[in-house]
Amino acid sequence: MLIKNTIFRGIKLLKICVTQKNSFQTGFIKTSQKTVKLANGADIPIVGLGTWRSQPEEIENAVQIALENGYRHIDTAFNYNTEEYIGNVLHKWLESGKIKREELFITTKLPNFGNRPADVEKYLKLSLERLQLDYVDLYLIHMPFSFHSNEAGNGPLKNEDGSFSLDTENDIISTWKELEKQVQKGLTKAIGLSNFNSEQVQRIHRAEIKPVVNQVELHAYLQQKELRDACKILNVAVTAFSPLGSPGANTHFQNKYSYSLNDFPDILGHPIVKELSEKYRKQPGQILLRHLIQQDVIVIPKSTNPERIKANIDLFDFDLSSDDLEKLNALDKKEDGRIFDFMFFKGVDKHPEYPFKARL
């Protein structure tokens, strides 16, 4: 009975609605894409541009091409080191009047070495300075676990044995309370979470200002059905990071952390994805993205390649049939499909807020 009532209440609470929107209009650009209504009333474009691992020399061009092709949602983070370049392009577009600030949806994130009340405003203001903006649309706690900061304040502190120095003194609730203040100060329109498990989302959700988004790894091999259901009940929208399976991330893990994942997946190359790509005459990446947006999941594919940037938002002229959606649903490997368990941060699984079950 209790479960039934909870589900019923959840369905009543559910306000995430997806609408076809034609209102992104600028001087000479008119685009049409779906948006998802967030709990704070804002409309987030269902496709955004991811920017992790985008190189400094490519990122300005990528943002320029993305804006020209109708992207209005950009995802970044303090520690991607892309905010400054994104800011340069946004500034030009805003100053020239080609776009209005309210047409954009910009997300950035508090770094895992700034997860403490005293640091929240400092990092948000640094991000705003780099982005050349007065406010962001969404500010996320990047990860639920915290590290001590290095002396320069630009990275996590490491111990002598190479493990990361865990900060277990600051709890996520007190950090969240500080994020709430940033909404009240007008430095961000909304606040949210990233890489939080369902218990952690529920815990934060008791706060006065609710999280509007949980951004998590989500693709055909890790479909996060249970987490998505838990978020739906709380009216927390889900954004899929690495929606294409993050090809190339393994090289990055190897170069940066001397860490590598066994059997790094090639989701774009899966025979079912290839079969559907031929059937619909769409690229494998478009099939994977369509699979998610057709279920109202927000996606933020990263690309700096002009053709792929265009393809990744060209998703609104076809529908996958329910049989084909089922074929893609069947690719879910659940926890075995997870790429980002963050074990490249040596020792992170010892943090009390580590969100995943340690792999056997």
Ligand X SMILES: NC(=O)c1ccc[n+]([C@@H]2O[C@H](COP(=O)([O-])OP(=O)(O)OC[C@H]3O[C@@H](n4cnc5c(N)ncnc54)[C@H](OP(=O)(O)O)[C@@H]3O)[C@@H](O)[C@H]2O)c1
Neighbouring-strand partners of residue 239: 215, 298
Among 166, 300, 320, 331, interactor with ligand X by CB under 6 A: 300
Give me the least distance between CB of 2 and ligand X, in Å please: 34
Contact at 8 Å (CB) between 183 and 41? Answer: no
Among 33, 35, 51, 294, interactor with ligand X by CB under 6 A: 51
182 binds ligand X (CB under 6 A): no
Query: Between residues 184 and 285, which has the closer beta carbon with respect to ligand X?
Result: 285
215 binds ligand X (CB under 6 A): yes
The answer for 278, left when phi > 0, alpha when psi is -120 to 50, beta otherwise, is alpha
Interface stretch with ligand X, choices 94-102, 181-189, 246-254, 329-337 (CB under 6 A): 246-254
Contact at 8 Å (CB) between 267 and 273? Answer: yes
Q: Is 142 annotated as a binding residue?
A: yes
285 binds ligand X (CB under 6 A): yes
123 is catalytic: no
Rounded CA separation 213/54 (Å): 23
Interface stretch with ligand X, choices 28-36, 183-191, 201-209, 301-309 (CB under 6 A): 301-309
Q: Which residue blocks in 210-302 are alpha helix, DSSP H?
A: 225-233, 249-257, 271-280, 284-293
Among 90, 104, 234, 311, interactor with ligand X by CB under 6 A: 311
242 binds ligand X (CB under 6 A): yes
Query: Between residues 133 and 311, which has the closer beta carbon with respect to ligand X?
Result: 311
Interface stretch with ligand X, choices 10-18, 151-159, 237-245, 343-351 (CB under 6 A): 237-245
139 binds ligand X (CB under 6 A): no
Give me the least distance between CB of 315 and ligand X, in Å please: 10
Rounded CA separation 336/153 (Å): 34
Query: Between residues 116 and 302, which has the closer beta carbon with respect to ligand X?
Result: 302
Annotated active-site residue in 80, 85, 139, 354: 80
Binding residue count for ligand X, defined by CB under 6 A: 31
Query: What are the C-alpha distances in Å from 296 to residues 6, 16, 34, 223, 283?
Result: 22, 9, 9, 13, 20
Q: Among candidates 215, 218, 296, 300, which has minimal Cα distance to 17? A: 296
353 binds ligand X (CB under 6 A): no
**Structure tokens that stand for 147 in this block:** 């590290």
Interface stretch with ligand X, choices 4-12, 125-133, 230-238, 300-308 (CB under 6 A): 300-308
**Structure tokens that stand for 3 in this block:** 């479960």
Coil, helix or strand at residue 236: coil
- Which residues between 58 and 87 bind ligand X (CB under 6 A)? 75
Residue 8's CB: how many other CB atoms inside 10 A?
A: 10
Contact at 8 Å (CB) between 245 and 238? Answer: no
Contact at 8 Å (CB) between 176 and 139? Answer: no
Rounded CA separation 224/108 (Å): 22
Q: Which residue blocks in 141-270 are alpha helix, DSSP H?
A: 172-184, 198-205, 225-233, 249-257
Among 112, 115, 149, 194, interactor with ligand X by CB under 6 A: 194
24 binds ligand X (CB under 6 A): no
Among 50, 70, 156, 192, interactor with ligand X by CB under 6 A: 50
Among 244, 287, 298, 313, interactor with ligand X by CB under 6 A: 244
268 binds ligand X (CB under 6 A): yes
The residues annotated as belonging to the active site are: 80
Contact positions toward ligand X, by CB under 6 A?
Answer: 50-53, 75, 142, 194-195, 215, 241-249, 268, 283, 285, 300-305, 308, 311-312, 340
Can you say which residues are annotated as belonging to the binding site for substrate?
Answer: 142
